[in-house]
Structure formats: structure tokens, C-alpha cells
Chains A and B, each alone.
Chain A
Amino acid sequence: MAKQVKFLQGNEAVCEGALYAGCRFYAGYPITPSTEVAEILAARLPKLGGRFIQMEDELAAMAATLGGSIAGKKSLTATSGPGMSLKMENLGYGYLTEIPCVIVNVMRGGPSTGLPTGPGQSDVMQARWGTHGDHPCIALTPSTVQEQLNETVRAFNLAEKYRMPVILLTDEIIGHMREAVEMPEPGDLTVIDRKRPTCDPKDYLPYKPEADGVAPMADFGSGYRYHITGLNHLPDGFPSNDGKLAQADEIRQQKKVDDHYDEIVVVDEMMCDDAEILIFAFGSTARSAKEAVQMARAEGIKVGLFRPLTIWPFPDKHLLKYKGKVKRVIVPEMNLGQTALEVERVLKGSPEVEGIFQIDSEPINPITILNKIKGGK
């Protein structure tokens, strides 16, 4: 039977993905251009037995999202740049305490209020390094409305599997555009639930990892009484001032992600096999890049598109294949060169990275990218 196809807005597709993944709690605060996520889930969640709450501020929204997850519900919050800045405090808490949840950042420009209704890709480095301290990070960058849905499901799966907050790093263009979306039936997409303990409660150690580096997580109220703290802690959850143990635990957390690169990192490589020029683009900019690549190919130029759906961890392994192989690498992005820094780090000058950086609240046009391809260095 043919799949049901719906004409959805990008933010709406995030909601469909969240509900498909089993999200039953949302805590948020209104902010353009993410507000539709809150509005839709306020209406939809109660019909599925879930609850929605509009909190007093973004700090509280992040805190309540974590609280909902600790109580056992798959939890979501959505925001944009200024709100993301405020969420950083409790996002860091979520990393250190290993609480699964999904944070949607519908990017606009910045800093501060910036150009609130226009698109941007200004939060790439904030997603990775915005909260203080070292921590693992998973951030996904969809480019289509279909991917808004599918990648939201994947974000929940990664959050649950690796017991950590996961960021869906999208932008105003994809958040607000409408496209046809093939709706998944139950069972079409994998849905992962967190590991919960099965041991005797008196033997439960909430931070003692199993072979995959992840410890089972008990819901508060499920009979496993334990302690959660934002202080560095031992496997039993209680604080410790032992710096060496703190270091070992933070490295263990980082390795949860590093050791599972192949399961986490997804890259769409289009026409890259024979490419002499590589375009590295994500999110809405990748849509323009795709069109530019197709136009250039029509003129016989050997150019390919490298489009990460996982921006963090950075797709080093995928990108290294092109080191010394392609003659040029072009990074178009709606910021002043954040992702380009990472591409440079990986390619180490082979070749030099050429940027198309734009923060005028307009999408980067395909023709701009095509001109760069044709114009040479």
C-alpha cells in the first residue's frame, strides 16, 4: 500500500518525528522561529497521554525537560539562538548527569536578538562548545522537511541509546518551509528506548557503564532510589572531589560518542566519487549547494556535494577520504566560517578551504555557489 503523504511545515515535521519516537513530554518557551513546535505539541501531546508545559523562561524549560526525562518520559524542547544561549547551563547539567532528551535549535542569526525572523547557521560552534567544560556532543543537521521528521526520530534514538542530550540543529528556512513528507507507519523507522536496570535495586549503580559505555538509567519512582548531581560523581552517583576519577569519567563519556562514530555519523555524499571540487554544506545551505552542483555538472565540471546529517561529532572519517584527493573544497554557510574551521582541521591544507560566508539573513543562492565553483580560487 502506498504510504500516506502529507504536506508539512518543517517545524510540524519535527513534531511528527517526536511523537513517532515516543516523546510524551515537552517543556518550552516561545521563540521565533521555533514556536510552531510548541504550539503543535501543546495540542497533540494530551491526545496521546502526554503533557505540555510552557515554562517561565528557557532555563526552566531546559530544566523541566530534563526533569521529565528523569521521571521516565521521552522529553523534547525547542528554541532558537537566544534561547539556546540560556539553555546552556542546564544542557551542561544534562551532559554531566547523562540525561537523554532532544533539543531542537531552529537557527537564526545573532549574537543577541539579531535578525529574529531570518535564517542563520550561527550556532554550529555553540552546539559543540556553548556550555562550559568538556563533554560529548551529538548534533544533527537535516536539509529537507522529510529529514526533519526522520532525523528527529534518530535524535531521540541516539539520546536514548547513548543516554545524553542530542541537538537537532536546523534553521528557519527548513523549519518554515513546506514539502511533501512520506509518513512512516509504525515499524518503518527504528525506535530505541533507553536501557533500564533489571538488577536488584540495592545493587544499582546509575553511572556504572556496561560494555557499550552506557549505564542503564532508572526512572525516578521505579523503585531504584539514586542520586543525581551536577558535581563530578562516582558510579554510585554521589559526588567525589577526586580529580583523576572525574577526568576518567568525562573521558568515558566522550568515548560513548567517539567509539560509536559509525553508528552516529551519517553523511550524504552526492557525485563525490570523481569530484575534483567538493562542496561541504549542511542544512538549508546544502539545498542551494545541491542545485549548484547539478548546474555545474551540466556544464561538465566535476563537483560533488558532501552533506553531513551529523555535524557533531564532526564527520572526520568521511571527510578524510577527500584529503589530497580533491583540488578544491568550498564551504558555504550562513555564518562567518565556523564549519570551515573544522573542515580545515581535517584536511590540513590539502586543499585549502574556500568559504562562502553570509550573515545577511538571506539564504545563500545556488548561483553564488556556482559562481564560486566556476570562478576558481
Chain B
Amino acid sequence: MFYLMPDKEKQRTARVDWRKRFPELAKKANSPALKRYYQAGIVANDTPIKEVPLVAVDFETTGMDPNQHGIISVAIVPMTLARIELNGAQQWIVKPRRTLTEESITIHGITHSAIAAAPDFEQLIAPLLDAVAGKVWVVHYQGIERPFLQRALQDRINETIHFPIIDTMEIEARFYRKPPSLWDKLTGKKPASIRLADSRQRYNLPFYAPHDAMTDAIASAELLQAQVAHHFNPDTPLSELLVNTL
């Protein structure tokens, strides 16, 4: 599909050359897991999306602020544009260092006992980074996974992490969150919701019960496939889909 990108969004596309950046980051990394992760490398920004190894990731957390809240569950699902592969999917429950509120228990359906028995995120660093190595992250709303991961690493190995990411919410915003016109403002027209469940509905994707890390990861993975099918094409370069934050 032919897609004219507004100037503003053009600026937002990735300007970081991740393929060059990863070896540099590998040199700086101290933790062996992090070093391995960077050494695995990453595809060039101009790689057609159909050839990009991807991984859909979802964290369930005790809240929205990485400085106050912690990760309680992590799910990853490897995928490509053509297929989401559940047999490579993994899910972990971890014990957050920050307190767990009753409210977040109700939302995520993970019990105190399951969390009490769960390991610290530190145990997860190596398996998680190995599992996502060489793959581009796909999340719905980048304000969670990357900041929480960065904070968790900071706390445990005193290092940070940088990697390219596709945010299906940001993509959705490009198409359904145009700045409201005067007319919209006058008539009080509400902007379209770009929440995961609402976005999925636009593409005739089935309703999945939210707030389970695995289900949400799969839901975002499917949403990306649908977005590319409708707004892009398999040859669209990766850079057009990436968000431009470090």
C-alpha cells in the first residue's frame, strides 16, 4: 500500500543505525549476558519487514512507573511478518523488588503465592536476553517494556540497554490519531482509541482477554501483522516501522 508519511513522522523514524551501534554497545557491556545480546547483532534498518526476525514482548507490572513499580511477569513470542510461533514462546513470573498492590494482583490474576515462589528478575536476565537476541522487539506501548527493562538492569547489573523497537500503539496513532481538526474540536469528536483491544477490533482481530502477559504479547504480534497488511507492505523497510527513541 502506498503510504505518504507526514514530515513530522518522517523525523520520528529511526535515525540510529542499529547494526553499527550494536558492536559498539557490545564492547562497552560488562555483563556477559548483555555482551552476548549485542554480539548477536541486529538487522540493518533498511531490511524489508518480511525478512526481519521479530519478538513480541509483554511485561505485566505492578504499575506504570518504573521507579516505583516492578515487573511481575514477562512473555515473549518469536515471530516474523508471516508467522507468530507459539512453540518458541516463553513466559516467566518474577518477584518484584517493589511492593505488589492488591489491585495489580486482581488485574493480572497472578497470586501472592506464585509470586512469592518466583525468582528475582536477575535470574531472568540471561535467558530473556538470549531469547530475544538478534530480534527486533514488538510491543504495544513502548512506555512500559523498555523503561522497566532498563530500570531492572540498572538495579541489578548497573548497566542499561538499548535496542530497536516497534510499537504497535505508536503505529496505530500514526493512522488514527491525526491532530484533531477545528471541526473535531467544535463538535467534541473523540479521537479513536488506540488501546490494544480497540486497535485489534479495527482489523477484525478477535477479542482476547487482557492483562495476561502471554496473551497480550500474542495480541500485539497479531496487531503488527494486521497493521502491515493494511498500511504497509512486506517490503517496507524496518526503519519505517521503528520508533525513534533510544
Do A and B come from the same complex? Answer: no
A residues sitting closer than 8 Å to B (CB atoms) are none
Residues of chain B at the chain A interface (Cβ within 8 Å): none
